[in-house]
Structure 1
């Protein structure tokens, strides 16, 4: 799978699957979650409500992933995953990597060939950007998937510079 870091707005990516860094409620919120729900329209929230009723009445646990329609987004599907909230006293790197791994597994079940991820947990959930990138690349580079391409959609040029250093080391 080709892994491509890009700077941009995840809601405009022309891929099969857009990954939402969701709240456990699956009902929208701030950051990437709110942007995807706003841009995707009411079809996404309707499916999220159904998933809450049928599968996760107490909220979706961190590290898990589920798919819905993409509504008005250019993608076919949205895969919602809940990242862990950063806590320096608890090692939750495996949970963060699980968000990427489980999202890829759900995308494979959908027979998708391309996917776009935000930098999960690096926004409001407070995960340090450099380590969030390390965990994202570790999960994506080691993935056993049928997908052909994964984009890591970053929120700034400064984050892209860090991503290039993490991914390419001194070659960046």
Structure 2
């Protein structure tokens, strides 16, 4: 499928506001890939498809999680996590996307995971900081992302975790594991920034 067809297929899955967000993530992911020596083509594709199932009804996503053997622990956590795994399944099934690196970047863009690849980090971070995002701490994330890819994502995870704690909501365990793993990687590679 060529780029135009992929864009159209994605656009059909969501309202215009969500599609505008997706295109902001695409722009941001490609810029991050270029800045940090990543694969801009894969970043473009994963970013375009990262919210493919976001606007789907939750009952449809729940059915897919159950019937397709996707991680069952998703069902006991926030429904905001569901679209990532369902989306990876959908783009593989419906669009024929077979690149496991791209599928993983889609699958883990909401939660992160241990041993995140550069592509995982880029797509997850781009989702946090695309130009349309406006939440407390987003400018710190953007500033860190000018020079420190993993540190910027840790700041993003910190923001999410703080928000969930403030709201008295559960934290998906994989996010905590992803954050801790990134912190260990940063410390192995040298000192953290003071931004």
TM over 0.5: no
The TM-score normalised by the length of structure 2 is: 0.30
Kindly name which structure, 1 or 2, has the bigger radius of gyration based on alpha carbons.
2
Instruction: Choose between structure 1 and 2: higher strand proportion.
Output: 1
- Bigger relative CO (Cα 8 Å, ≥ 6 apart): 1
